[in-house]
Amino acid sequence: MNVLPSRPEAAAPAMSERRVGLIGALLVAIGPVSMALFTPAMPQITHDFATTDSMVKMTVSLYFAGFALAQLVCGPLSDGFGRKPVIMAFMAIYLVASVVALVSPTIEVLILARFLQGIGGSVGVAIARAVVRDLYVGEGSARIMNLIGLILGIGPAFAPTLGGITMELFGWHAIFVLMVLFGITVALICHYALKETVARDLSRIRPRALVASYGRLFSSGYFMACGLVMAGGIGAFYTLAVVMPFILMNRIGLSPMTFGLTMLLQSGSFFAGSLTVRQTIGRFGAYRILPFGIACIVAGSLGLAVLLRVFEPTFWLVMAPVMLYAFGGAFVMPAMSTASLAPFPHMAGAASALSGFLQMGGGLVGGLFAGLFVDPVVALATVIPGLGLVTLASWLWWRSLPEPAMAGIVLAPRAGPPGP
């Protein structure tokens, strides 16, 4: 059995796995936490601005759009200018947008602020994985991605609860105060604890070089298969953020605080899946346990597609398949993030950015399709299973492709049942 070195170079990494994982988790969490804090307030914002559900959903859809598109810019910029300067610049955008959202007088201003907030928050996903690739490959990278997943499961798990409690005690504006404080914390930690991991090289951000980098990535079937697995497996969580408040609060009748507590089940399932990965990754490897996660995603998709069309939606008919899907999604990120970035060490920022774009793009497309349905329950029963199908088909495609050449690095076996 091929065993992956954590890092092919002889020199020790500039930062430990734990340090990279903790900082990376904070960066990656900006997007999901900013979304999860906000979702309990969506029905109340509809009422306060005397607007429609569709307009409030635009605060989510355009947040996704800014988040997804800006990654294509900040990732390559970090290849040329360095990781830290780009992180600080985009965190400044995030903080300014959060303040604008806090004082928004109209729904239109709030939508614009959320779009800008998505642009600023995009730096987390785009650069955190690039930093991991700068320092680690193979199973070392997979372990860090799993640690990021573990911590990522905690933040979004408690964010809806915190958002619901904050809204009921102080109003929805206070939610954006929390985002400002979170943004300041992340910026300070990155400034003082994150070491620069890439040399400044402006030749990497010349237009011709950028086009060549993205052209190489788009033309790589191996990279695109990895990206589409994450687009379906992880992107579904962002689609759920669009539809779940209107199902659980408006249809089933949960209060904002109860809705926030309910979201602990979804994020808790992802956290439980990440713990399972952490316990098994050392013995079997990230790639050989991935089929179990894919099976959970498929089972959750079938549950939503069938049960919500046969029975009237209840709390557990909605949440049980969602929890199963979330549990399986935890198996996707460590393996697919590592596999997608490993062949591209000299364009890790661009590769991480495009991977994040595909991941968020899955959530954006899913959210837009969900908005086309009058009934959010039908949207849930249709769009999430569709993303599950994308995950399964892309994983089967990935398994059929040969391993890319990676300077002597050989990925662990991708097929066959787990075994010692």
pLDDT in tens, 268-326: 888 888 889 888 887 888 788 899 999 999 999 999 999 999 998 889 999 999 999 99
Kindly state whether residue 4 falls inside one of the protein's structural domains: no
pLDDT tops 50 at residue 407: no
CATH number, residue 188: 1.20.1250.20
Encoding tokens for residue 294?
């894919």
SS3 state of residue 103: coil
Pinpoint the alpha helices (H) of 136-255.
138-170, 173-193, 207-219, 221-233, 235-245
Mean pLDDT is lowest, of 181-185, 252-256, 411-415, for: 411-415
The pLDDT score that the predictor gives to residue 100 is: 94
Kindly state whether residue 324 falls inside one of the protein's structural domains: yes
Nearest alpha-carbon partner for 273 in 339, 202, 327, 212: 327
pLDDT in tens, 49-69: 878 777 887 888 788 788 878
pLDDT in tens, 384-395: 999 999 999 999
CA pair distance 43, 33, nearest whole angstrom: 18
- Mean pLDDT over 368-376 rounds to 83
67: Cβ contacts below 8 Å, ≥ 6 apart: 31, 118, 119, 121, 122, 125, 360
Mean pLDDT is lowest, of 97-106, 108-117, 121-130, for: 121-130
pLDDT tops 70 at residue 38: yes
- Mean pLDDT over 149-176 rounds to 76
The pLDDT score that the predictor gives to residue 99 is: 94
CA pair distance 124, 120, nearest whole angstrom: 9
The pLDDT score that the predictor gives to residue 405 is: 52
pLDDT tops 90 at residue 371: no
Which helix (H) or strand (E) covers residue 358, if one does?
helix 348-371
Nearest alpha-carbon partner for 250 in 102, 56, 387, 32: 56
Kindly state whether residue 80 falls inside one of the protein's structural domains: yes
pLDDT tops 80 at residue 253: yes
| Dihedral, CA of residue 371, residue 374, residue 378 and residue 379, to nearest 10 | 0
Averaged confidence pLDDT in the chain:
82
* C-beta of residue 359 within 8 angstroms of C-beta of residue 129: no
| DSSP conformational letter for 196 | P
CA pair distance 269, 149, nearest whole angstrom: 12
Sign of torsion over alpha carbons 148, 154, 156, 157:
positive
Encoding tokens for residue 300?
């959750």
Mean pLDDT is lowest, of 10-24, 159-173, 265-279, for: 10-24
Per the structure, how many domains does the chain have?
1
pLDDT in tens, 328-356: 998 988 888 888 877 887 777 788 778 87
Mean pLDDT is lowest, of 220-229, 281-290, 386-395, 403-412, for: 403-412
The pLDDT score that the predictor gives to residue 353 is: 79
| φ, ψ (nearest 5 deg) of residue 281 | -65, -35
The pLDDT score that the predictor gives to residue 305 is: 94
Kindly state whether residue 9 falls inside one of the protein's structural domains: no
Whole-prediction pTM value?
Answer: 0.72
pLDDT tops 90 at residue 77: no
pLDDT tops 90 at residue 229: yes
Mean pLDDT is lowest, of 122-126, 159-163, 217-221, for: 159-163
The pLDDT score that the predictor gives to residue 4 is: 39
Nearest alpha-carbon partner for 132 in 298, 333, 311, 395: 333
The pLDDT score that the predictor gives to residue 9 is: 42
The pLDDT score that the predictor gives to residue 189 is: 92
Give me the count of residues in the chain: 420
> Rg of the chain's alpha carbons, rounded to an integer?
20
Q: Tell me the residue range of the domain where 169 lies.
A: 17-200+207-400
Kindly state whether residue 408 falls inside one of the protein's structural domains: no
29: Cβ contacts below 8 Å, ≥ 6 apart: 124, 151, 152, 155, 156
Buried-state track 147-182, b at ≥16 Cβ within 10 A, e below 16:
bbbbbbbbbbbbbbbbbbebbeeeebbebbebbbeb
Kindly state whether residue 406 falls inside one of the protein's structural domains: no
Query: Where residue 111 falls among pLDDT bands split at 50, 70, 90?
Result: very high
Pinpoint the alpha helices (H) of 39-106.
42-48, 53-81, 83-102
Kindly state whether residue 189 falls inside one of the protein's structural domains: yes
- Mean pLDDT over 123-130 rounds to 82
Buried-state track 71-95, b at ≥16 Cβ within 10 A, e below 16:
bbbbbbbbbbbbbbebbeebbebbb
CA pair distance 1, 411, nearest whole angstrom: 10
Kindly state whether residue 394 falls inside one of the protein's structural domains: yes
